[in-house]
A = this chain, B = another copy of it.
């Protein structure tokens, strides 16, 4: 699974503590990440409607909706794409007893099982939002929001 997912998750959490656009360079410096490559990931989040981007001075990225409306699945899907983990290539098409026109992505027992596991994974991710994670973090580290805000203005 792509590296950018972790960057996107933590960056979204940080943005949830801020209410003004933050440029890529500042967000990258926060974790010492390559700025241009982080920018690429944030572009994907913007295309997915999770972030909004504003150009020019005082521009940058900010959350497009409330943290409670952003699930971890939204972020993962924005970076990794909407495809399932297991892609059925229907090799049964080449086997014996094949009925042309059958969609083995639906009828193959293995494809069904893999899809079931995929759905269980997605259900877990869809059930956790950025707001949930933020609450967990603030419970364990009440100073985190202030620290983050301070570091961001320090890096501007």
Which residues of A pack against B, CB within 8 Å? 1, 3, 5-7, 9-10, 13, 30-33, 72, 85-89, 91-92, 94-97, 107, 109-110, 113-114, 116-118, 120-125, 128, 133, 136-137, 140-141, 143-144, 147-148, 150-151
Contact = CB atoms under 8 A, between A and B. Distances in A.
18 contacts: A6-B88, A6-B91, A30-B96, A31-B94, A32-B94, A72-B113, A85-B85, A85-B121, A96-B148, A97-B144, A97-B147, A107-B140, A109-B137, A110-B133, A114-B125, A117-B125, A120-B120, A120-B121
Contact of A117 (B7, B30, B31, B121): B121
Contacts of A9: 110
A87 B2 CA distance: 9
Nearest to A7: B91
Given A10-B110, A120-B124, 6 more contacts: A6-B88, A10-B95, A31-B91, A31-B94, A96-B148, A97-B141
